[in-house]
Structures are given as structure tokens and as C-alpha cells.
């Protein structure tokens, strides 16, 4: 039987706050991590996104604070402003009405206001490494009383070039401080840093082989590059998600893409690193309140975000690697809820999804849109083939060769796509369809050439005399008298008045 928060020795006031939010039972990662961190052990916490890692370190960290000491005792380092503000909001909900104070020290915000708030002597600080170091150098923030440092989304913090900054901060702290690394993935760089800066760390992994939530479904739709935005528009109109995040790779493209999406009538706003603090804060607040349907974002901007109600994640650009895909799809399907991840890709990008499947142990299933429904590609192609066959039956005989070519192409594509759930079959599907068309063209071409050759042979047979005889034979009609044929010969090419006169005679 699962333990309760009481059995984990969580303070009653925090349990009451959690119950107000509807959180009654700890998640598996919380069950494992809370006792280890509460004992003061250096800890590496790895679990898939959306499993409650923030509370797993916040609850024991808050209980470790001595509110009587007006010093910073807990430091939480984050890669982005959005994640930092999210953690601050979670912290403030837990400590509301109590003596513990929390403060955000995020880069990009006005440093003068942060300096003023530091005079209130916060006990827990959440910040980005660059801004924390800046304040330390100004001697406005002391590291000497910090007892616990937590690096959330540690892989992203190091990836953004903050490894040296984190190490600088760790050097300035007491050797007795506790270090906690938290992330959904623990690459080699993190393991190396842990070996240097941690003392016999406890490594907690919950289902490490299950990197994405079991409640997530993964699909992809194939589109030409120029049609991706229109494909997204159709999918949004068809699925009508309550709240969804659309990911692209290049920040430089984000204003152009959001303009195009708004032009086609979608309810969308953008979140990206270069935007000002107030603008980003307003976008996030409006999205959480449901004032628009789609949030267009880059990987860095949306890293670690926990936004309630996000049902879908769309990849307008494929993720840069499997790790980025993992963190993208983690914005939905959180805490046991259902979620859907949809990639809109070109045929040339299919191999990228194959890599993600192998790396993450997931299946990304092909889908298509047909007749106002989302269907399997095999069903879609079969329906298309049936339509072509019906159309071919109503065409004149001259269209038989082309109809046959299309029918064979559709049949070949349908056979291949019946197994298109397997990664290797995706490229085979396109090749099979192409071979069918090329094969049909090869059959049609000799037939057309042979027909033309036969006509030429008939026309040239017997020289000029043969041609003349052929014309006479071709001119004969069954039951036509010699006089009638002669009259018809004379009338050929004659003006209308002369034809009429001869007919009267």
C-alpha cells in the first residue's frame, strides 16, 4: 500500500496546502526522493516529466529552513525565467501565511528591484545561474549560509553553458552543503559533475526505461514543407484541443510563424527568449487563463513548464534530438492525465522519428486526415483507391492505361502502409508507391509506342498506290451505291451552295 504524506513526515501545514490543490497522495518519485533529501543526502533525482519532481525537492527543502535565521538557506537554480517563476509560485502557495520568505532572482528582470527585495532577507531563492553570480559579485547575496543547492532541469542548465557558473557557485559554498540534481534525463556530463561535486550521491530513478508518460499517445502526419502551417490549421480545426503547445526550432522564425497562424484564423501567441519580461509574463498568464488556444514556443522557452490543461503538443519542426522530444512531449500527459503528441513532418524527416522511437522506446504512429476524421494511412489510401476505381469505370476507354497505373500505385501503397507502424516500413511505403507508378508508366509507354508503330505501318503499306487503295477501302460504307459514293467524293471540299445544288439534282 502506498505511503501518505503524513508517513513521509511532511509538515501538516504543507499537507493542507496540497489537499487544497487536490493532491492527496505522493507520486512514486516523491515517495523515494522526499526521505532521501530530508536526510540531507546528496541526491540525483531522475524521473519522466510530469511526475511531481518539484514537490519531491521543495517539501524537504522548506522543512529544513530555520525561519528564525534571516539568511538564504536554500538555492534553486533553473535554466529559464518561466520555470523559475513557476517554482516560486509553487513555493509561495506552500508557505503562504507562514514566516518563510521566497524570492526569484531571474536574469532579464530589473536588478534594482531584486536588490530591494533582498533586504527582506529571503530564506529560499530561485534564480538563473548568471543573475545569482552577478549578485554575489556585487556582494548583495551571500552563499555562506546556504545549506542546500538544487539544480532543476540540470541537463538544460549545463546545455545552456551554465556548467562553469554552477561550479563557481558550488565553490563559494560550505563543503557541508547538500547538492540535489533533478532532471528527466541524466547524460554523461551530469554524471561527471556529480562525481566531482557530490558526496556519495543517492541516485533515484523511477522506471528509467519508461522515459515518457504511459498516458501519452504519439502520432505523425506527413506534409510538404510549404503545407505544414495549413496542415496544423486543419488539425486544430479537426481536433479542437482545449489548450496546446506548438514547438518550432528557430527563434528567428517565431514572429513570422505566429503571424501566419493568426492569418489563417488560429488563436495563438508566442513565447520566446528574446521577448521582454513583462511580455513573456503576460503571454504565460493569458495562456494559463485560456485566453488563447495555442502557445507557439521554442524548446528553451517552454522547458519545464507545468501548465494545467494542456492536452496536445504539436511539433511544427521536428525536435533537435530525442532528449528535446522527451521534454517537449512532457508538457502534456502530466500526473497521470492523458496527452497527445503530434509531429507534422516531411517524408525526408521520417528517419528522425525512427531515431526517437529507438532512443525512447516508444511508437510514433502514422495518421492522416480524411473526410473530417483522423484515420490510419492504410484506411485513407484504400478509400482513395476505391474512389479512383469508381472514376475509372465511368471514364471512356482511352483513360484505361492511366487509371490502371493509378490503381496499381494505390494498391502498392496500401499494402505497404498496412505495416507502416514499423519504422522501416515508412521509407518502404514511399518507395513502393513510386515503383508502382514507374512500373505502370513503363507498361504504358511500350503500349503507346507499339500502337503508333502499327498505325505508321498501315499508313505506309504498298507505297502511294497502297495508300490510295486504302483510302478507297476506308471510304466505302455498307449498302452505299456507286453513284452515292461518287456524289460524296465530288462534294468533299465543295462549297455549301454547290453541295446543296447537287443534292437537289
- The more confident residue out of 460 and 380 is 380
pLDDT for the residue numbered 50: 73
pLDDT for the residue numbered 491: 64
Tell me the average pLDDT across 278-297: 89
CATH class of 12-205: alpha beta
Give the 3-state secondary structure of residue 315: strand
pLDDT (tens digit per residue) in 203-251: 998 765 556 667 789 999 999 999 999 999 999 999 999 999 999 998 7
Nearest to 418 by CA among 367, 374, 386, 377: 377
- The more confident residue out of 459 and 86 is 86
Rounded to an integer, what distance in angstroms lies between the CA atom of residue 327 and that of residue 42?
24
Tell me the average pLDDT across 138-150: 94
Could you tell me which residues come within 8 angstroms of residue 435 by beta carbon, excluding any fewer than 6 positions away?
412
- The more confident residue out of 158 and 245 is 245
Residues in the chain: 505
Q: Same CATH topology for 12-205 and 216-375?
A: yes
- The more confident residue out of 488 and 437 is 488
Q: Evaluate if residue 401 carries a pLDDT over 60.
A: no
| H or E stretch at 406 | helix 400-417
Domain spans in the chain, listed from the N-terminal domain onward: 12-205, 216-375
Tell me the average pLDDT across 22-36: 91
| H or E stretch at 349 | none
pLDDT for the residue numbered 22: 84
381-386 contacts at long range (C-beta below 8 A, 24 or more positions apart):
381/410, 381/413, 381/414, 381/417, 382/414, 384/410, 385/410, 385/411, 385/414
User: Is residue 394 very low, low, confident or very high in pLDDT (cuts 50, 70, 90)?
Assistant: low
pLDDT for the residue numbered 479: 58
Contact 17, 96 (CB under 8 A): yes
Give the 3-state secondary structure of residue 159: helix
pLDDT for the residue numbered 387: 55
Angle between helices 53-64 and 12-20 (to 10 degrees): 150
Tell me the average pLDDT across 154-168: 86
pLDDT (tens digit per residue) in 360-382: 888 999 999 988 888 988 655 44
pLDDT for the residue numbered 119: 92
| H or E stretch at 139 | none
3-state secondary structure 351-386: HHHHHHHHHHCCCCEECEEECCEEECHHHHHHHHHH
pLDDT for the residue numbered 58: 96
| H or E stretch at 208 | none
User: Is residue 56 very low, low, confident or very high in pLDDT (cuts 50, 70, 90)?
Assistant: very high
pLDDT for the residue numbered 273: 65
β-pairing, 294-297 with 43-46?
unpaired
Contact 229, 203 (CB under 8 A): no
Rounded to an integer, what distance in angstroms lies between the CA atom of residue 422 and that of residue 214?
19
DSSP for residue 345: E
Nearest to 106 by CA among 332, 89, 73: 89
Q: Evaluate if residue 110 carries a pLDDT over 60.
A: yes
Strand partners, 152: 182
Report the range out of 37-51, 296-310, 452-466 with the highest average pLDDT: 37-51
Among 191-195, 316-320, 429-433, which stretch is predicted with the lowest mean pLDDT? 429-433
Which DSSP string corresponds to 451-467?
Answer: HHHHHHHHHHTTHHHHH
Q: Evaluate if residue 5 carries a pLDDT over 60.
A: yes
Among 175-179, 328-332, 338-342, which stretch is predicted with the lowest mean pLDDT? 328-332
Nearest to 364 by CA among 273, 426, 416: 426
User: Is residue 127 very low, low, confident or very high in pLDDT (cuts 50, 70, 90)?
Assistant: very high
Q: Evaluate if residue 3 carries a pLDDT over 60.
A: yes
Rounded to an integer, what distance in angstroms lies between the CA atom of residue 362 and that of residue 322?
11
Please state, for a pLDDT cut of 70, what percent of the chain lies above it.
72
Rounded to an integer, what distance in angstroms lies between the CA atom of residue 94 and that of residue 62?
9
Q: Evaluate if residue 18 carries a pLDDT over 60.
A: yes
Tell me the average pLDDT across 423-432: 43
- The more confident residue out of 215 and 195 is 195
- The more confident residue out of 138 and 211 is 138
Rounded to an integer, what distance in angstroms lies between the CA atom of residue 264 and that of residue 231?
11
Which DSSP string corresponds to 209-258?
Answer: T--S-TTEEEEEEE--GGGHHHHHHHHHHHH--SSEEEE-S-GGGHHHHH
Rounded to an integer, what distance in angstroms lies between the CA atom of residue 288 and that of residue 278?
15
Rounded to an integer, what distance in angstroms lies between the CA atom of residue 127 and that of residue 99?
21
216-375 placed in CATH 3.40.50.1700: no
pLDDT (tens digit per residue) in 162-194: 888 999 999 999 889 999 999 887 788 888 888
Name the phi and psi angles at 77, rounded to 5: -100, 135
Among 240-249, 295-304, 393-402, which stretch is predicted with the lowest mean pLDDT? 393-402
Mean of all residue pLDDT scores within the chain: 79
Which DSSP string corresponds to 102-131?
Answer: EEEE-TTS-HHHHHHHHTT--SEEEE-HHH
- The more confident residue out of 130 and 1 is 130
Q: Evaluate if residue 463 carries a pLDDT over 80.
A: no
pLDDT for the residue numbered 251: 77
pLDDT for the residue numbered 82: 84
Angle between helices 129-137 and 111-118 (to 10 degrees): 70
Amino acid at each position: 500500500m502506498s505511503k501518505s504524506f503524513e508517513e513521509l513526515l511532511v509538515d501538516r501545514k504543507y499537507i493542507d496546502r496540497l489537499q487544497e490543490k487536490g493532491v492527496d497522495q505522493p507520486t512514486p518519485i516523491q515517495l523515494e526522493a522526499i526521505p532521501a533529501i530530508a536526510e540531507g543526502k546528496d541526491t540525483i533525482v531522475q524521473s519522466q516529466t510530469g511526475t511531481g519532481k518539484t514537490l519531491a525537492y521543495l517539501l524537504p527543502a522548506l522543512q529544513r529552513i530555520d525561519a528564525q535565521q534571516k539568511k538564504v538557506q536554500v538555492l534553486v537554480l533553473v535554466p529559464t525565467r518561466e520555470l523559475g517563476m513557476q517554482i516560486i509560485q509553487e513555493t509561495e502557495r506552500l508557505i503562504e501565511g507562514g514566516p518563510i520568505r521566497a524570492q526569484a532572482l531571474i536574469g532579464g528582470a530589473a536588478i534594482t528591484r531584486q536588490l530591494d527585495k533582498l533586504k527582506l532577507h529571503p530564506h529560499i531563492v530561485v534564480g538563473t545561474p548568471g543573475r545569482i553570480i552577478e549578485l554575489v559579485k556585487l556582494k548583495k547575496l551571500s552563499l555562506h549560509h546556504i545549506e542546500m543547492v538544487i539544480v532543476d532541469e540540470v541537463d538544460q542548465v549545463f546545455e545552456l553553458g551554465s556548467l562553469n557558473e554552477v561550479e563557481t557557485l558550488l565553490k563559494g559554498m560550505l563543503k557541508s552543503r547538500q547538492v540535489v540534481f533533478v532532471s528527466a534525463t541524466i547524460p554523461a556530463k551530469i554524471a561527471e559533475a556529480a562525481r566531482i561535486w557530490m558526496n556519495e550521491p543517492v541516485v533515484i530513478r523511477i522506471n528509467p526505461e519508461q522515459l515518457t508518460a504511459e498516458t501519452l499517445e504519439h502520432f505523425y502526419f506527413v506534409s510538404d514543407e510549404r503545407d505544414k502551417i495549413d496542415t496544423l490549421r486543419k488539425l486544430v480545426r479537426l481536433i479542437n484541443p482545449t489548450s496546446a503547445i506548438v514547438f518550432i526550432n528557430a527563434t528567428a522564425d517565431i514572429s513570422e510563424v505566429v503571424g501566419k497562424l493568426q492569418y489563417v484564423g488560429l488563436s495563438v501567441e508566442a513565447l520566446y527568449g528574446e521577448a521582454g519580461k513583462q511580455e513573456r509574463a503576460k503571454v504565460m498568464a493569458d495562456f494559463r487563463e485560456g485566453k488563447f488556444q495555442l502557445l507557439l514556443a521554442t524548446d528553451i522557452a517552454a522547458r519545464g513548464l507545468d501548465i494545467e490543461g494542456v492536452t496536445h503538443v504539436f511539433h511544427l519542426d521536428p525536435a533537435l534530438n530525442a532528449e528535446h522530444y522527451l521534454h517537449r512531449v512532457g508538457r502534456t500527459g502530466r500526473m497521470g492525465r492523458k496527452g497527445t503528441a503530434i509531429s507534422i513532418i516531411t517524408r525526408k524527416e521520417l528517419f528522425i522519428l525512427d531515431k526517437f522511437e529507438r532512443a525512447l522506446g516508444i511508437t510514433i504512429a502514422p495518421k492522416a486526415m480524411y473526410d473530417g476524421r483522423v484515420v490510419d494511412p492504410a484506411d485513407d489510401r484504400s478509400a482513395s483507391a476505391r474512389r479512383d476505381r469508381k472514376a475509372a469505370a465511368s471514364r471512356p476507354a482511352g483513360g484505361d492505361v492511366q487509371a490502371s497505373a493509378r490503381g496499381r500505385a494505390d494498391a502498392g501503397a496500401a499494402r505497404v502502409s498496412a505495416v507502416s507502424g514499423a519504422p522501416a516500413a515508412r521509407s518502404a511505403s514511399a518507395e513502393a508507391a513510386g515503383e508502382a507508378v514507374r512500373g505502370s508508366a513503363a507498361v504504358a509507354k511500350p503500349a503507346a509506342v507499339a500502337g503508333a508503330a502499327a498505325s505508321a505501318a498501315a499508313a505506309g503499306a504498298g507505297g502511294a498506290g497502297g495508300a490510295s487503295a486504302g483510302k478507297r477501302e476506308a471510304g466505302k460504307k455498307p449498302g452505299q451505291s456507286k453513284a452515292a459514293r461518287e456524289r460524296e467524293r465530288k462534294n468533299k471540299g465543295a462549297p455549301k451552295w454547290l453541295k446543296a445544288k447537287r443534292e437537289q439534282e
